[in-house]
Amino acid sequence: MPEIQVVRDRSDELKNLIQEGEWIKVGNFIHGPMAEARLNMTYIIPNLLPPDQSKARQITKDLLTHLVKVDQGASTANSNLALSNYKSAFADVDKFLELIPE
């Protein structure tokens, strides 16, 4: 979980990269730290409470969808598409973190 939280804490970094049009760095962030966080999420899912596992799987699918759209925004220099999906991606991360017991 700490790796996921570290990426969550870097959300403003991705937002700034999008706003500044640093599209290569946006792609690097999506394919680097965000992809790693998503991978960690998939490792955590089997250890969640059984009722939360299906929710967590759906959240990780939603996260992937939003990351693909951020990446599409980066590859077409579409900051509106990238920003709106950046927000959704980190909302997905927050939803996932809420499923993890203390």
pLDDT tens digits for range 54-64:
999 999 999 99
- Band (pLDDT 50/70/90 cuts) for residue 2 is confident
Domain that includes residue 46, residue range: 2-99
Q: What percent of the chain has pLDDT over 70?
A: 99
How many residues are there in the chain?
A: 102
Indicate the residue type of 49.
Answer: L
The answer to whether 97 and 4 have CB atoms below 8 angstroms apart is yes
Looking at the structure of the chain, the number of domains it has is 1
Q: Cα separation of 46 and 32, whole Å?
A: 23
For position 1, what pLDDT does the model report? 66
For position 101, what pLDDT does the model report? 82
Give the CATH number, domain containing residue 53. Answer: 1.20.120.290
- Band (pLDDT 50/70/90 cuts) for residue 81 is very high
pTM above 0.85, yes or no: yes
Supply φ then ψ for residue 35, to 5 degrees.
Answer: -65, -40
Q: Cα separation of 86 and 22, whole Å?
A: 14
